[in-house]
Structure 1
Amino acid sequence: MQTNKQLELAFDFVQYTGQNIFLTGKAGTGKTTFLKSLKERSPKRMIVVAPTGVAAINAGGVTIHSFFQLSFAPQVGMEEEPNRQMRFNKEKINIIRSLDLLVIDEISMVRADILDAIDKVMRRFKNKRKPFGGAQLLMIGDLQQLSPVVKREEWELLKREYETAYFFSCKALKETPYVSIELTHVFRQQDDKFISILNKVRDNILDKSAQEELNLRCNPRFVPGDEEGYITLCTHNAQAHRMNDSKLKELPSKAKLFTAHVEGNFPEYSFPTDYELHLKIGAQVMFVKNDPDPEKRFFNGKIGQVTSIGKNSVFVQCPGEEDEIEVTSLLWENVKYSIDKKTAEIKEELEGSFSQIPLKLAWAITIHKSQGLTFERAIIDAEASFAHGQVYVALSRCKTLEGLVLKTPIREHSIISDKTVGGFIQQVEENQPGETELNKAKLAFQREQLSELFRFYRAVYLVNSIAKIMEENPGSFTDIFVGDFRKMRNGLRNQLADVGDKFQQQIDKYLRQEPNVEKNSELLERIKKAADYFSEKVQEVLLDGIEQVDWDIDNSTVKKKIKQRVNDLAGEAKTKLAVLAVCRNQFSVKEIMEARARAMIESSGVKPKKQKAREILNYGDIPHPELYQELREWRTVTAVEQNIPAYMVFSQKSLVELVTYLPSGAAQLQLINGLGKRKVEQYGADILEIIQNYCAENNVERGEIPLQQKPKAEKMPKPDTKRVSLELFQAGKSIVEIANERGLAETTIAGHLAHFVRQNELDVALFLDKEKVEKIVQYFKHTDNRNLTPAREALGEAFSYADLRMGLSYFETISD
C-alpha cells in the first residue's frame, strides 16, 4: 500500500486504540486500498460489511442486511419485536460476541436507522451497556459521493426519529465519541488544476473560472472512434442499458453467449457482471476485476474493444497498448464469517462462487455503478442528475481533465449538494486528530482493558437476574437452595465486586503517577498480585459456588430460565479466568483480547454436562443425605416409568421434609408438604419402605415428631426496593452503576431516587442544576397535568424523563 502520514495515523488508531473512526477522503485518496491492507495487517478479530452486494464483494465482506439479518424496510419500532433477533445461529452470535472491529464500507450510503439497527444487534449479543456492543467501529466512505437511497414514504417514517437519513444522525453514534480522519492526498489524479476543479465541485463552491474551464470540455456532438475507449457515464439505468443494447445491435458480427457458473449461495444482486453475457467482435467492454496474474494486464474499470472470440476466451485490445489481452473466466467468491474451531479466530468461509468472463458492455454505465472505478477517457452526461454527489462521482472517475468530455455543460443546478453534509464535513476538516489524540486514545484503550479485568458487572447482573426469578417464583425453591444461592451471591458482592471496585481506586492512583500501564512497574506488580487473588476467588465463589447449588428445580419453566443464567454465569467466570491468567504473567492488551475471544467461544460452544445430584449438591445442610439421594433417585425412576415430570411424584420441598421429619406412617406422610391423600395412596408404601429401611440400617431413632406443628419454611424477606437503591446511591454509586448491579432499568432507579426527593431525604441538587429545576418548576406551576411526556415536548429533549421525574418530585415537596 502506498502510504502517507494520514493512512498510517488511521491504521494506528485502528490497531492500538478502541476509538471509533470515520475514515473519509476525496475520490482516489486510497480508502479502498487502505481497507484491503488493513485486512492483511491487523490481528484484530474483524468483519467487513457494506450496504450493497457489489460493494460487499469488492470489499471482500458481506452485506449489512444479510449479516445482521435486517429487512429493507425502515428500522423503526424495533423495540416492538423483542424476539426478532432470536433467529441468529450460534456461530454468528459467537462472531459478534468475540468481535474486536466492525468495518462498514461505503458508509455514505448507509441510513441512520440501519446503523441503529446494527447497534441493537451488537448490544444484544455482546455488551448491552455500550454502543455497538463495545466493538470498535471503523466507518469508511465519502459523504460527498453517493448518499443513502430513501424513498419518500420511507422518509415519512424516518423523519419522526432522525434529523437526516445520513449515518451521522444515528442515535447510537451520538452516544459514543469517534474521530474523523480525512485522507487528502489524491492518488488517482496527478494534475493539480483538475484536482482543484474537482474539489470545488465536491464542496459546491464551483466559481465562474473553474466552471468555464470545466465546460471547455463540453462537446454535445462528440462521437468517439471505436478504438479510443470512451465510456459514457449517465444518471439512470435505462439510459445505460439503451445505449449498450443499441451499440451491440449495430455491430455486424454474430453474438457469442457466455453463461456464468454459479455454485452455492451467490445472490443475483451481487453478480459483478451479466449472468448471460452477450459479446460481439467490436464491442466496447470494461474489465470488472483486477488481473490476478503477476503481469497485472488489466484492472477493474479498464476499457477495451473485443477483437476476437474463442470457445472459452475473449481477446481485448486496449487503447494505447500493442498487445491484445486474452481474457478467460475468473472467479468471484461470496464469503461468510465463521469461527475456526482450533484457533477460535474469525475466518472467511466460502459460501458461494460466481465464474464468468470478467467483462461487461461498456459504451455506457450509470454513475452509481462507477463508484470506485477509474477511467482514462469518459463522456459525462449528468444533466439529469438527481442525487447528492452524482456529478462529483462522475467527474472524479477520470484520471485527467483531457480524458473527459461533457455531453452537456455543468451548470449550478446540476451539482446537488446537501448543506447538512457540508456542515458535517466542515467539522471533520476542522477537527483532525494528530499524534496527541492518538497517544491519549492508546492510553485510554489500555486503561479500559485493564479496568475491565477487575469489573464484575456482568456476573452481578446475571446473579441478580437469578435472584429476581426467585423472588417472582418463591414456591419453586427450597430453603437449602436459597441458602446456598445467598452464599454465592454474598461472596460475589463481598469478595469480588466490592474488592474490584476498591482496586479500581488503586489503579487510578498508580495511573496518575504514570499513565502508561506498560511502563508503570509498580502497577504491573500490583496487577499480577490482583490477578492471583481474583483468579482464586472467581474459581471459589463462582465456579465452585455454581457446583454447590442444586439447580434441579421442579418448575420446568423456571428451571429453563435459571439454567440459561447459570450457563451464562459459568461462561463469564471462565472468560474472567482466561484473561486473568494472562495478567498473572504479564499485562498485554493483545493477549488479553485474544484470550477473551477464545474463552467466549469455548464457553458458549461447550454444552454443560448433566450431573447427578450427588455431584452438584452441597449436603452440608441436609439431614440424612444418603436417604435424600435414595428418595431422589427413586422419584426419578418412577417419573420415567410413568412418563411424567419428577415434581409430579413429589416436589423438592416434599423431599427435604421427608428426610427432615422421617414420617413412619400414612397419617404422618399426609402432613408432608405436597403429599395429600391421593399421592400417599399411590406412592406412600414405597416411600415409607425406603425410609424404614434406611432408619433400620443406620440405627436412626425417629420418635414422635409433631408434623402438624412443624416450622414453616422461612420466606425470603422482600426488601424495600426503593430503599435498596437509596442505600447504594448513598454509598457513592451512580444511577447507571445501581441499574447494572440490580439488573433494573436506569429509569426505574431514577424513579426510586425521585421518591426520596419527594420525601425530602435527597436533595434535588444532587441530580439537577439550578436552571433545570427552575424551568421544570415553572412548567408544572402552570399545568395540572403531571404526565411527563407533554412536559418533555414543552421543555425539549435537553430534559430527560429522569430529569423531569426528579424535578416533579421536588415541585411536589414545595407545593405541599
Structure 2
Amino acid sequence: MADNKELDLAWDFVTQTNRTLFLTGKAGTGKTTFLHKLKQKSNKRMVIVAPTGVAAINAKGVTIHSFFQLPFGPILPDADVANNSAFNRKFSKTKINIIKSLDLLVIDEISMVRADLLDGIDKTLRRFKNKQLVFGGVQLLMIGDLQQLSPVVKDNDWRLLQPYYKNAFFFSSRAFQECYPITVELKHIYRQENPLFITILNEIRNNNLTASSAAELNKRYDPDFNPKTEEGYISLTTHNSKANTINQSKLKALKSKSYNYEAVITGNFPEHSYPNDIDLELKVGAQVMFIKNDSTTDKRFFNGKIGRVVDLSKSKVTVRCPGDTEDIITGVETWENIKYNLDAKTKAIAEEKIGSFSQIPLRLAWSITIHKSQGLTFERAIIDAEDAFAHGQTYVALSRCKSLEGLVLKSKIESKQIISDHNVISFNKRAEENAPDSDQLLQSKGQYQLDLIAEIFEFYSVLHPINRLLDIYYKNRNRIEGVVEPLLLKLKEDATHLIKVSTSFKTQLKTLQTEGETPENNKAIQERFTKAIEYFKVQIEDLLVVPLKSFAFTTDNKSVEQDLNKTLDVLEEFLTVKTFYFKEIKTTFTTKHFLDLRVKAVFLLNKGAKKERKSVIDGTVHVDLFEDLRILRNQIAERNSLVHFQVFSQKSLYAMCESLPTSLEELKAIEGMGKTRVEKYGTAIISVIRSYCEDNDIETTDANNLLENDSKKRKKGDTKLISLDLFKSGKSIDQIALERELNVNTVFGHLADFISTGEVAVTDLMSKAHYKELLALIPAKTFDNLSDLKHQLDDKFSYGELRLVLNQLESD
C-alpha cells in the first residue's frame, strides 16, 4: 500500500491530531488493512467496537452495546441522562478507567450504526470523561462504506426517532454534527484491476449506471450457467433461505460419506457472534470457503478463498483450490471473544480473552448471502440480485468479484436492483467537496497541540466545585459549623485570577503560532510554555492547594456532609492532577509526554484513598474535650438505638466546648439541651467535662449539685480515685465506664494519671504491640492536634492510647 496519499493522510490525521475521522472507500480499498496497522503501531490508547457480534469478532474488538452497556431499543436524544436507566447502568471501575484514559475510539462497520446509537455513545463518554466536550473529548475513527450495509431500523423504532433525526444513518446524529468531522475516501482499489469493471462499479455505487456500462455488465448474463466443479464458482443471493437451500441440495447430491465436526465453545461466546455452524457437515466433493485467515506463518488460505474438499478425517480436512499447486490441509481454528481490561503493571489497555469458538474454518460455499459476503473477495462468482431489497446490496455483491471475467449474472442488472439512498448520495457528495488536504492536516496538528497545552492550563473547571460548596453552605448555614464562607470566597477569587491569567496566556500562544509550524517546533511558544509552567506551579500551590488544606467543617446532617465531601473530592482531584502536571513537565511541551501524563493522572487518582476529613474546626480551643464529648454522644446513641444528633446536636456540642458547663443547671442553659435531654444524658456529659477540666487545671463552677440527687459535695480528685479503686478490684475500663455512667476515654484518662505514681502500668491500659507501634509512628507524624493525628493513623488506635503515648513521649 505504498504511495497511497489518501491512506497516508488518514494515518496522519488519526495519529497526529484529535479530529474525528470517517474513513470510507469502495470495496477493496484497504480499510480493514488500515485498521490492523493502526492497532499494531498507534501510540494512542484505543478501543475497537462494532455494531454486530460477527463484525466485532472480525475486527478483533467488542460490540458497541456490550462496551457502552446501551439498550437495544431507540435512544431518544432529549432523554434526561441523569434519570435515564439506559445511562445509569453501573460500570466496573476498570471500564470507567479505560474510558477516562481513552484517546481513540474506533467504530468499524459504521454504515450499520444508527444515529441514536452514536448519540448514546456520546452521552456515555461524556458521563465518564468530559461532559463539556463532544464524545467526552475522545477522538473517533469511523470506518465503513455507506454504499454497503445500512442500519436496520424497525418501523416502530423509526416512529419514535423520526422527530429527532432526518434519517437513520450515523451522520444524522447530533454528536456527529457537533464534532466537525472530516471524511477521507480511499480511492485506490486493490481488489479489482480492470478499469472498465471499476468504472461500472463506481457508476452503480453512485446510482448513475450508464446504458453502455449496463450493456457491458449484462454481457455476463447467463441464466442457465452450470459451472464445472473444479472451477470454484460461488453463488451470491439476497436471502438466507435461498443460500441454504442451494448448499444443502448440492451436499445431499454427493454420494460420499458425511463427516460432522462439532464446535468447541469455551467461556463467554454469545450465539449471535458464532462465526460458523456449531455442527458442520462436510463430504468429499463439497465446495467450501475458508472463513478465516490462516493463523500459521504459511498463510496458505484467507477469508473467502474457495476450494473443494478432497479428503476428510476426524480432525483434518484437505481442500484443493483452483490455481493452487498444493492441497491445503486444515485443522481446527479458533476465534476469540475479548473484553478490554487494564494491564496490572503498565495500565495499558489490554485485550482479555473471555471466550473462544473452535471449529474447522470452512463453510459450504456453493452459495452465500450477499450480507455474509461483505469484506470477502472471490475469483469467480454467480450473482443473483433479482430480489435485491436493501440499499447497496447490488453493489456489495458485484464488488466481491476481482474481475469482470469471473462474474456471471443469473438475472440482468436493472435499475430497480440498484437501490441507493439519496441521503447517502448527498452526504458523499458534500464529503467529496470538502475533502481535507495536507494544509488542513498541518493546521489540525497545530490546533491539536494548542488544545493539549490549553488543557494543562485549564482552570475554569475549578470554579464549579467551589461554587457548589458555597451553594451547599448558603442553603445549610445553620447546619454547618466552621469558617467556611471566607475561605471559599477567597478560593473563588484566586481561582478567577488564575483563569484570567491562563486565558491571556492561551491567547498569547495563538498569536505566537506561525503558519507551517506546530507548537512543538515553535521556539517562542516553547519558551512561553516553560515560563508558564514555572509560574502556575507556584501559584496553584500557594493560592489553592495550601489554603484548601485548612478547610474544615462539621455538621449533624449526613446528607449535607456527604454533598460537601463529594464536592471536596472533585476539587481535590482537580488540584491533584494540575499539581502532577506542573511537577512532571519540567521544560518543553511534547504531545507524547503529555498524553502519557494524562493517562498516569487517571490512575494517580485511583491510588489515593479517600481523604479522612477533619471533623474538628481548628478554631475550637478544647479540641480533646470536643472529641471526648463526640465519642460519648456516639456511644449513647448506639446504646439507645438513636441517631447521634438525637442525643445532642453539633451546635450544642460546640457550645459545651466554649462555655464548659460543670453542673446540670449550666448544661440546661446550652441551646438545644432541654430538660429531658439533661435528665437522660446530663450526668455523663458533666462527668466528661469536669474530668477534662481537672486534667487541664481549668477552674470550674463550685456547684453543690453536680448531680441533682447528690447530698454530698465531691472533693477534687475523688472521681479518679474511685476509678482506680474499681480498676484494682479487677474491673475492666469498659465495666467501670458502664457502672459509673462515664465515657470510656474519661476512665482511661483517670487511670492514666496514676502511671506516674506507679499504681498503673502503661501496658495495663493498652497492648504492648500498640504501645511499641505508636512509639515509632507518632514522632514521624506532623499534626496540629489530637484529632489530626488520629485521622493520620490506623483506626485500631483509640484517642486514649494516643494521649497516653503522647504524654509518655513528652515526659521522656
In structure 2, the residue matched to 1:78 is 79
Equivalents in 1 of 2:441, 2:671: separation in Å?
67
In structure 2, the residue matched to 1:14 is 14
Given that 1:548 and 1:617 are in contact with CA atoms closer than 8 Å, whether structure 2 keeps it comes out as no
Q: CA deviation at 1:525?
A: 2.9
1:206 pairs with 2:213: no
Q: CA deviation at 1:469?
A: 2.9
In structure 1, the residue matched to 2:24 is 24
Equivalents in 1 of 2:529, 2:636: separation in Å?
54
| Residues 330, 574 of structure 1: alpha-carbon distance in 2 compared, 3 angstrom cutoff | same
In structure 2, the residue matched to 1:749 is none
Deviation string 1:399-438 (CA, Å, 9 cap, x unpaired) is 0111111110000111001111111101111111111000
Equivalents in 2 of 1:48, 1:3: separation in Å?
27
1:374 pairs with 2:373: no
Given that 1:197 and 1:206 are in contact with CA atoms closer than 8 Å, whether structure 2 keeps it comes out as yes
Unaligned 5+ runs, structure 2: 703-812
| Residues 165, 514 of structure 1: alpha-carbon distance in 2 compared, 3 angstrom cutoff | closer
3-state SS of 2:318 partner: strand
Equivalents in 2 of 1:392, 1:281: separation in Å?
33
Deviation string 1:77-117 (CA, Å, 9 cap, x unpaired) is 53274344242121111111111111111111111111011
Equivalent positions of 1:451-530 (< 5 A) are: 451-494=454-497, 496-511=498-513, 516-530=518-532
Equivalents in 2 of 1:278, 1:33: separation in Å?
32
1:311 pairs with 2:314: yes
Equivalent positions of 1:376-455 (< 5 A) are: 376-455=379-458
Deviation string 1:100-135 (CA, Å, 9 cap, x unpaired) is 111111111111111011111111111111110011
3-state SS of 1:279 partner: strand
Equivalents in 1 of 2:564, 2:400: separation in Å?
59
Aligned residues: 699
In structure 1, the residue matched to 2:675 is 677
Q: CA deviation at 1:2?
A: 4.8
| Residues 622, 214 of structure 1: alpha-carbon distance in 2 compared, 3 angstrom cutoff | same
3-state SS of 1:216 partner: helix
| Residues 682, 515 of structure 1: alpha-carbon distance in 2 compared, 3 angstrom cutoff | farther
3-state SS of 2:80 partner: helix
1:661 pairs with 2:663: no
1:576 pairs with 2:585: no
Q: Greater shift after overlay, 690-699 or 594-603?
A: 690-699
Equivalents in 1 of 2:349, 2:584: separation in Å?
21
Equivalents in 2 of 1:75, 1:396: separation in Å?
34
Q: Which residue type is aligned with residue 339 of structure 1?
A: L
TM-score between both structures, scaled by the size of structure 1: 0.82
Q: CA deviation at 1:701?
A: 5.2
Given that 2:20 and 2:182 are in contact with CA atoms closer than 8 Å, whether structure 1 keeps it comes out as yes
Q: CA deviation at 1:536?
A: 3.7
Given that 1:229 and 1:305 are in contact with CA atoms closer than 8 Å, whether structure 2 keeps it comes out as yes
Given that 1:233 and 1:378 are in contact with CA atoms closer than 8 Å, whether structure 2 keeps it comes out as yes
Equivalents in 1 of 2:535, 2:479: separation in Å?
35
Given that 1:548 and 1:618 are in contact with CA atoms closer than 8 Å, whether structure 2 keeps it comes out as no
Equivalents in 2 of 1:303, 1:482: separation in Å?
77
3-state SS of 1:262 partner: strand
Q: Which of 266, 271, 277 is 1:268 aligned to?
A: 271
Q: Which residue type is aligned with residue 11 of structure 2?
A: F
Q: CA deviation at 1:341?
A: 3.0
In structure 2, the residue matched to 1:243 is 246
Q: CA deviation at 1:648?
A: 3.5
Equivalents in 2 of 1:417, 1:328: separation in Å?
42
Equivalents in 2 of 1:617, 1:521: separation in Å?
51
Deviation string 1:554-610 (CA, Å, 9 cap, x unpaired) is 322233333332223322222222322343333112111111122113313543154
Given that 2:480 and 2:553 are in contact with CA atoms closer than 8 Å, whether structure 1 keeps it comes out as no
Equivalents in 2 of 1:632, 1:92: separation in Å?
41
1:630 pairs with 2:628: yes
1:321 pairs with 2:319: no
Q: Which of 93, 97, 101 is 1:94 aligned to?
A: 97
Deviation string 1:593-631 (CA, Å, 9 cap, x unpaired) is 1111221133135431546x4xx7551x22333332333
Q: CA deviation at 1:10?
A: 0.5
| Residues 185, 586 of structure 1: alpha-carbon distance in 2 compared, 3 angstrom cutoff | same
Q: Which residue type is aligned with residue 52 of structure 1?
A: T
Equivalents in 2 of 1:644, 1:237: separation in Å?
69
Deviation string 1:660-711 (CA, Å, 9 cap, x unpaired) is 222333233234343333322232222223323333443445789xxxxxxx
Q: Greater shift after overlay, 392-401 or 424-433?
A: 424-433
3-state SS of 1:232 partner: strand
3-state SS of 2:376 partner: coil
Q: Which residue type is aligned with residue 53 of structure 2?
A: G
In structure 1, the residue matched to 2:193 is 190
Given that 2:68 and 2:121 are in contact with CA atoms closer than 8 Å, whether structure 1 keeps it comes out as yes
Equivalents in 2 of 1:253, 1:389: separation in Å?
39
Q: Which of 684, 687, 691 is 2:685 aligned to?
A: 687
3-state SS of 2:220 partner: coil
Equivalent positions of 1:531-550 (< 5 A) are: 531-550=533-552
| Residues 48, 638 of structure 1: alpha-carbon distance in 2 compared, 3 angstrom cutoff | same
TM-score between both structures, scaled by the size of structure 2: 0.82
Q: Which of 588, 592, 595 is 1:593 aligned to?
A: 595
| Residues 492, 645 of structure 1: alpha-carbon distance in 2 compared, 3 angstrom cutoff | farther
In structure 1, the residue matched to 2:748 is none
Equivalents in 1 of 2:638, 2:645: separation in Å?
12
RMSD: 2.3
Q: Which residue type is aligned with residue 26 of structure 1?
A: K
Q: Which residue type is aligned with residue 674 of structure 1?
A: G
Given that 1:255 and 1:278 are in contact with CA atoms closer than 8 Å, whether structure 2 keeps it comes out as yes
Q: CA deviation at 1:649?
A: 3.3
Q: Percent identity?
A: 47
Q: Which residue type is aligned with residue 220 of structure 1?
A: P
Q: Greater shift after overlay, 363-372 or 562-571?
A: 562-571
In structure 1, the residue matched to 2:35 is 35
Q: CA deviation at 1:31?
A: 0.4
